[in-house]
Amino acid sequence: MNRSWGVRLSMTAAASALSLAFITGCSSDSDSGDKSEDTADTKASPTAPVAPAGKASTAAELKKLLLVAGDVTGYATDGSEALLPKSKDQGKVDKTECSPLLWSTLGLPPGDTTVSANTALKEEKKAGGSGELSATAALANTRTLIGLSSYEGDGATKAMKAVSDSITACSGGFTSTDADGEPTKITKVTAEKGTGGGDEALAFVEAVDIEGTTVPVHGEVIRKGNTVATFYSLNLAAFAGQGESPKNPPALITAQLAKLK
């Protein structure tokens, strides 16, 4: 995660929480996608199944495959992705081998492709008797950034290996810097068991240093055919020391994988 983005997101959410449109409680009546949870966890490795050769999707095609409001009950589309970098030249790391981790947390392709699309979904919390959410409750809503990237040939498999290698090589941490020169310090990276699914799946947790306080933030990278999906969840209240940092919601992951070809 890029701290500058996190700070901007916090400010945006806080400002939005003061508006009637943001704090008015609402619940989705839409049906969710497939709610079954696949807990299998496949470790990406040089011997992992190779994706079948094929033509990469276009960015427009990927955009149509992204989750939207109504796909999963309890989640609405969030505009936070507008604050994210649009290309890899807008961020850098002090250790080149850590780049795939940075890109996967920003909804950018972790592998060698420029074909991608991303979105952000926020958890909808029901309002109390007043029909409104407090600013604190609104900030506590979990936001999940979802990125899709598509590759020619075995590019998706190579992307998964790059992330796997990055988790190992960057276990001791790294520092990323955004286009404005704002640094984010990751003190530790650890592999963990995630929701799984697809043809290959990886999950990791980053220990993010926020003004001297360490906050664990969870990411998942999953390949399905020639498409790689990345998931990274943030709870803004956790960054303020007011709650736990959640793992990526299994319902979102399962529903997103179900939409991929």
What integer pLDDT is reported at residue 111 of this predicted model?
96
Task: Looking at mean pLDDT, say which of 36-45, 104-113, 135-144 comes out highest.
Answer: 104-113
Half-sphere CA count of 235, side-chain side, radius 13 A: 23
Tens of pLDDT, residues 19-33:
222 222 333 333 333
What is the Cα 41 distance to its own chain's centre? 18
pLDDT at position 193, please? 94
pLDDT higher than threshold 70 for residue 121: yes
Q: Which CATH architecture has domain 3-18+54-259?
A: 3-Layer(aba) Sandwich (3.40)
Query: What sign does the dihedral 103-105-109-114 (CA atoms) show?
Result: negative
pLDDT at 232 over 50: yes
Structural domain boundaries of the chain? 3-18+54-259
Distances in Å between the Cα of 218 and the Cα atoms of 44, 254, 260 are 17, 16, 22
**DSSP per-residue string spanning 4-25:** HHHHHHHHHHHHHHTSHHHHB-
Mean per-residue pLDDT, 32-58: 49
Q: Vertex 149, ends 151 and 172: CA angle to 5°? A: 105
Does the pLDDT of residue 95 top 50, yes or no?
yes
Tell me what pLDDT residue 87 has.
83
Nearest to 86 by CA among 120, 56, 118, 60: 118
Cα separation of 243 and 236, whole Å? Answer: 9
Which residue would you say has higher pLDDT here, 256 or 21? 256
Q: What is the pTM of this model?
A: 0.77
Q: List the single range of 60-64, 120-124, 132-136, 158-162 with lowest mean pLDDT.
A: 132-136
The mean pLDDT value for 53-75 works out to 89
Angle 80-119-132 from CA coordinates, rounded to 5°: 50
